[in-house]
Chain A
Amino acid sequence: QKEVEQDPGPLSVPEGAIVSLNCTYSNSAFQYFMWYRQYSRKGPELLMYTYSSGNKEDGRFTAQVDKSSKYISLFIRDSQPSDSATYLCAMSEVTSGSRLTFGEGTQLTVNP
């Protein structure tokens, strides 16, 4: 079983929809949680970074971490065609340095 599980999709939504992406994990030592966006033929780009449990909002993006359920989410409001990409969740332990453990990624398409 993988340490981080993420539904690979694909997920297709109309422009303006609210998108919900999520990951579950099994390693209770994970303390840092990230969401990356990856466009085709590009490297991952950091979207959101949270430490431990709680919510964080940045523009149209909201990240939620529920450590008691080992569950993290990314919400995208008013989705745009330019949001079409693969979204990757990533996590790390305090003691693991910069070693990130990634989910498989969810492929999102926002249709105009």
Chain B
Amino acid sequence: KAGVTQTPRYLIKTRGQQVTLSCSPISGHRSVSWYQQTPGQGLQFLFEYFSETQRNKGNFPGRFSGRQFSNSRSEMNVSTLELGDSALYLCASSLRGLADTQYFGPGTRLTVL
């Protein structure tokens, strides 16, 4: 079974731009969560989607948003990019969320110049 895939793997943007990252979960998984990983803050939860609905949200500003499609694929969007948004963005999928095992993708490395 194919794992979680994320595209693109690398992105370079400039301040003020917006960016969209994509995540394809493992087949059959309906829960998709997003995390931001930085050297200073580690892995931080952004949000979770289940059946096209946001079920949980972390403490990030409204510039960070996401959505999930009927096939469980998910996208996250960051608007008005700031230098501090440079990070590895990880997507994780699980069957139903809750206490199910989460499987992580390889991440998208975003650099904001």
Contact = CB atoms under 8 A, between A and B. Distances in A.
The answer to whether A and B interact is yes
Interface of A: 32, 36, 41-46, 49, 51, 88, 90, 92, 94, 96-105
B97 A97 contact: yes
Interface string B50-88: 100001101000000000000000000000000000000
Nearest to B32: A98
Given A43-B105, A44-B104, A98 B97 contact: yes
Contacts of B98: 97-98
A21 B35 CA distance: 23
Contacts of B35: 100, 102
B102 interface: yes
A98 B35 CA distance: 11
Contact of A97 (B56, B101, B107): B56
Contacts of B92: 43, 98
B7 to A, nearest CB: 14
6 contacts: A43-B90, A44-B104, A46-B103, A98-B100, A102-B35, A105-B42
Contacts of B100: 98
Contact of B102 (A100, A101, A104): A100
Given A43-B107, A44-B90, A98 B102 contact: yes
B48 A98 contact: yes
A88 B35 CA distance: 14
Nearest to B33: A98
B2 interface: no
Contact of B56 (A94, A99, A101, A105): A99
A98 B106 contact: no
Q: Looking at B35, B56, B99, which has the most chain A CB atoms within 10 Å of its CB?
A: B99
B45 A43 contact: no
Contacts of A103: 42
Nearest to A92: B99
Given A43-B4, A104-B42, A98 B31 contact: yes
Given A43-B4, A46-B102, A98 B42 contact: no
Given A43-B105, A99-B33, A32 B99 contact: yes
